[in-house]
A and B are shown apart, each in its own frame.
Chain A
Amino acid sequence: MKKTVLSILFGLMIVPFALGQGYDIGDEAMNFRLKNVDGSYVSLSDYQDEKGAIVIFTCNHCPYAQAWEQRIIQIDKQFDPKGYPVVAIQPNDPELAPGDSFENMKKRARKKNYTFPYLMDETQEVYRTFGATATPHVYVLENEGKDFIVRYIGTIDDNYKDADKVEKKYLAGAVNALLKGEKPEPQKTKAIGCSIKDKKK
């Protein structure tokens, strides 16, 4: 009896921790409404006529984000027409990372001709709920009857330094698999990136 009570207690304790880990493959992504660099607000639900969305937590200041930036633009050009547009979200607190202020985001999006929204996660609740840890961090979401289901989590490819030396295009591979009705392989990858600058940490 004691054991049962204990295991129930432990069970209850573990649940909140599990939730704190962010999304895993198969989870339904939260809807969000965030301010875009053009002054409009963008929600995930705005994409309900698409096959899915490529949500990328990225920023201005991080050298890894900068190294992959051009490839993110290419990914959007390649997959937006196929129903998987890029939605970029800047998760850093600008007080901790001044390069990532809303003004600087606007400048960068304009200068680099972003073809996709670049949103400010002002309360940092979106990145925390997704469980993003670094920039850039990618979540491929598949639209399943208006629910956006997480199908791929991780990095863009296997060489941040040199686009010409990429051998494994993880992100493009994942989206192509989904377009064919297949499961991405791998579903999860990791990459070195800049930790997200959180005002609470």
Chain B
Amino acid sequence: MTLTLGLLALGLNAQQIPVYESFQEYSHLLNKKNDTTYVINYWATYCAPCVKEMPAFRKIGKEYAGRPVKIILTSMDFGGNVLKRVRSFMERHQIRSHVVVLDDPDTNSWIDKVSPQWSGALPATVIYNKHSRKFHEGIITYEELKNVIESKMKQL
């Protein structure tokens, strides 16, 4: 038991968290043209509504494991010890999804590139595949996520 937990902790710690200092370097994550459906969430550890919707992403992650659905949690965290804070948050909330940090402070230059519909308020979610994309601002529920993912998967 102790060993399993230890390995689990090790596994979580081992996940690399890429830090993108410019949106340009990050933007490929929003423009994949393959047979996977991508769920890109914009959040931060200090954002209460983001924390509230996290269990929905965890549930979706588990449910679609092994299927062509990829969740990318894009952290907007800033200030000191960002990686440490994000990592300990992931461990606390048992998040296995891919996490990246987007650290390009000229947000006006890129918010519209995520979606022209986005005001900039956190959280926000983009669900897309090579055929179409859907944007959602504010807390997204498990049911909403599942509905959009299912309809996107049918297009592939």
Contacts and interface: CB of A to CB of B under 8 A. Distances in A.
Interface of A: 63, 67, 96-97, 133-134, 154-155, 158-162, 165, 167-168, 170, 189-197, 201
30 contacts: A63-B44, A63-B46, A67-B78, A133-B120, A133-B121, A133-B137, A134-B120, A134-B121, A134-B122, A154-B108, A155-B107, A155-B108, A158-B105, A158-B106, A160-B78, A160-B107, A168-B106, A168-B108, A189-B108, A190-B107, A190-B108, A191-B107, A191-B120, A192-B42, A192-B111, A194-B122, A195-B47, A195-B121, A195-B138, A201-B138
Contacts of B111: 190-192
Contact of B119 (A134, A158, A161, A168): A134
A170 B108 CA distance: 10
Given A158-B106, A159-B106, A193 B120 contact: yes
Interface of B: 42, 44, 46-49, 76, 78-79, 105-109, 111-112, 118-123, 137-138
A194 B47 contact: yes
A86 to B, nearest CB: 20
A79 B118 CA distance: 30
B107 A192 contact: yes
A37 B123 CA distance: 30
Contact of B122 (A155, A162, A192): A192
Given A63-B46, A195-B123, A162 B105 contact: yes
Contact of A190 (B49, B105, B112, B123): B112
Label chain B's interface by main secondary structure. loop
A190 B79 contact: no
Contact of B76 (A154, A190, A192, A197): A192
B72 to A, nearest CB: 17
B121 to A, nearest CB: 4
Contacts of A197: 48-49
A193 B118 CA distance: 11
Nearest to B138: A195
A140 B58 CA distance: 41
Contacts of B112: 190
Given A133-B119, A193-B122, A63 B79 contact: yes
The 5 closest A-B pairs by CB, nearest first: A133-B119, A134-B121, A195-B121, A190-B111, A189-B108
Contacts of B123: 195
Given A63-B79, A191-B111, A201-B138, A160 B120 contact: no
B154 to A, nearest CB: 29
Given A63-B79, A133-B121, A134-B121, A191 B46 contact: no
Given A63-B46, A63-B78, A190-B112, A196 B121 contact: yes
Contacts of B122: 134, 192-195
A99 to B, nearest CB: 10
Contacts of B108: 154-155, 158, 168, 170, 189-191
A194 B106 contact: no
Nearest to A135: B121
